[in-house]
Amino acid sequence: MIEYNIDFEICIYDPDTSDFVEGKITHLSDYLIKVKLEKPYVYWVSQRAITPSRLKSGHTFIHNYQKLAEQLLRLAYEKVKYIDENIDELEYNYMLLQEDLYELDTLANAHVARRIKRTLQEDFFRRGVLNTTVCGFVFNAYDRTHIVDIVKAYCEDKTKIYKACALSN
């Protein structure tokens, strides 16, 4: 299987803002493609993998990577744009979650506390602005890591780590 670690730049147009969205393919192989968002937002990496059963049937990313990369870039941009538009509500919900998690630390039964914590953390992503029916996106486990990092940084000092200017300060 051939793997290409490349920095192939891609660009798409956002008709809503009349701006260009820039990104980079950071990894390309038969089974995996990663696209990094670079402008107007940073920090977000989207990826897609092919299951082994599809690989056996001859389907790979190599043949249509350009179109797939553009789709991943557009999706990454739309997700971060949505998060940016709803960052204050995300911060509020995250702070409520942290209060609930803190309260669970006093629970005597650690096993029950862990189960409740997992449920509360899942609810953070299933309800409110991150609900699929509300936002129109599915945030996978990889995206959730990005979201938690973004919200934590915003809660601490209102830094939007997905903006290029926030990283240069």
pLDDT digits (tens, 9 = 90+) for 98-131: 999 898 888 778 888 889 999 999 888 888 788 8
Phi, psi of 13, deg, nearest 5 = -110, 135
pLDDT level of residue 29 (50, 70, 90 thresholds): confident
Instruction: Give this prediction's pTM.
Output: 0.82
Q: Residue 130 contacts by C-beta under 8 Å, 6 or more apart in sequence? A: 90, 124, 139, 147
Segment 63-100, tens digit of pLDDT:
677 888 899 999 999 999 999 999 999 999 999 999 99
The CA angle 20-22-26, to the nearest 5 degrees, is: 165
Note the pLDDT of residue 80.
94
CA 8 to each of CA 104, 123, 145: distance values in angstroms, whole numbers, following the listed order: 47, 37, 25
pLDDT at position 169 over 60:
no
Amino acid (1-letter code) at residue 111? H
Note the pLDDT of residue 154.
95
Q: Residue 40 contacts by C-beta under 8 Å, 6 or more apart in sequence? A: 19, 21, 163, 164
Domain boundaries, the chain: 3-84, 86-168
Note the pLDDT of residue 72.
92
